[in-house]
Amino acid sequence: MNPSSITPPEHVPAPAALHSARLLIAGDIMLDRYWFGEVSRISPEAPVPVVRVQRREERLGGAANVARNASALGAQTGLMGVVGDDEASAIVERMLKETGTASYLNHDPAISTIIKLRVIGRQQQLLRIDFEEAPSDIVLRDKLSKFNALLPEYDIVVLSDYAKGALVNVAAMIKAARSQGKKVLVDPKGDDFSPYAGASLLTPNRAELQHIVGSWKSEEQLTVKAQNLREELALEALLVTRSEEGMTLYTAASVRHFPAMAREVYDVSGAGDTVIATLASMLGAQVPLEDAVEIANRAGGIVVGKLGTATVTREELFGF
């Protein structure tokens, strides 16, 4: 099914409304590197393919990919996070400027910027190499102070947690944002969701939710477990992304399922980033929650048809 061929929901925001959306995104910042090459033989040194690299690309990853997606939709976007004081951080800053994203990054000279290097041969990912280090306590304290200072300038807060250390103060960030009346959307990670208590909405995928609440054998069991978690964490809503099964939105008033709308699935890298960025942008444009989720579902269906971390444009979603 082609998402672009489906009638859009009733509440489609005008470009001006999207541009009025003000999003502050915080989380783990990454630089995604792609090496594309030709594979024509097996190494004589080991039973592995030899890739002759012909092209290289760099893209924003992690929370930076969330910001990139929100900016592509026209939202006013600011990004917070920790990077090193190195070549990769300079590239991240330059790419953020190109997207129109306001950069509030903290540079930690004690670490290197997180890099995920993917080697692609014949349009298939052959290898991924990660370079990462946790930020220092001093830099994290400075980041929290900067977050509190920036809050009055934004309406929606998105916390993109990849469990790399940038959001160790997430509970304090949620409390500060909610005390100022901001909506807080969280893409969670880990085996304990209690630090996210009090957020407006969480967007775990199926595997992440199962890790927290255990397995289920029916939709009824899933609903009970999801609603119990939503109530336990005092969330306004819980949005579970379920891959080929679509998405399910749990609120106190209802449970609504959104069927998968993907074309041929090519690459799921960064799909969760696109979903939460689109959802936050729509809420910032005053789109009702269920319509915002429907649009985010469409965006997720489009982006999985692209290679690597990618974005969805307003034209792809709405035709303008």
Q: Tell whether 38 is covered by a domain.
A: no
| Predicted pLDDT of residue 306 | 74
Is 128 a member of any domain?
A: no
Cβ-count burial of 49 within 10 angstroms (0-12 exposed, 13-18 middle, 19+ buried)? Answer: middle
Note whether residue 125 is domain-resident: no
User: Residue 6: pLDDT band by 50, 70, 90 thresholds?
Assistant: very low
Q: What is the pLDDT of residues 213-250, one digit of tens each?
A: 999 999 999 999 999 999 999 999 999 998 888 899 99
Domain count, the chain: 1
- Answer whether residue 3 shows pLDDT above 70: no
Pair 157, 178: CB distance under 8 Å: no
Which tokens is 4 given? Answer: 């672009």
Q: Is residue 42 situated within a structural domain?
A: no
Q: What is the pTM of this model?
A: 0.90
The answer as to whether 46 is a domain residue is: no
Torsional sign, CA 220, 222, 225, 231:
negative
Instruction: List the domain range (segments joined by +) for residue 10.
Output: 3-29+59-112+133-318
Residues marked as catalytic = 273
% of the chain beyond a pLDDT of 70: 92
Residue 269 has pLDDT above 70, yes or no: no
User: Does the structure show a pLDDT above 80 at 315?
Assistant: no
Quote the pLDDT of residue 227.
97
The yes-or-no verdict on residue 268 having pLDDT over 70 is no
pLDDT per position as a tens digit, 186-214: 999 999 999 999 999 999 999 999 999 99
The average pLDDT across 171-183 equals 97
Residue 215 within any structural domain of the chain: yes
Residue 169, pLDDT score: 94
Evaluate whether residue 287 is within a structural domain.
yes
Taking the mean position of all CA atoms in its chain, how far away is CA 197? 19
Task: Decide if 37 is inside a domain.
Answer: no
In the predicted model, is pLDDT for residue 11 greater than 80? no
Tens of pLDDT, residues 280-290: 999 999 999 99
Chain centre distance of CA 286? 20
pLDDT value at position 294? 93
- Other CB atoms within 10 Å distance of the CB of residue 130: 11
| CATH number of the domain enclosing 237 | 3.40.1190.20
E strand or H helix that includes residue 35: strand 29-42
**Could you give phi then psi for residue 39, rounded to 5 degrees?**
-115, 115
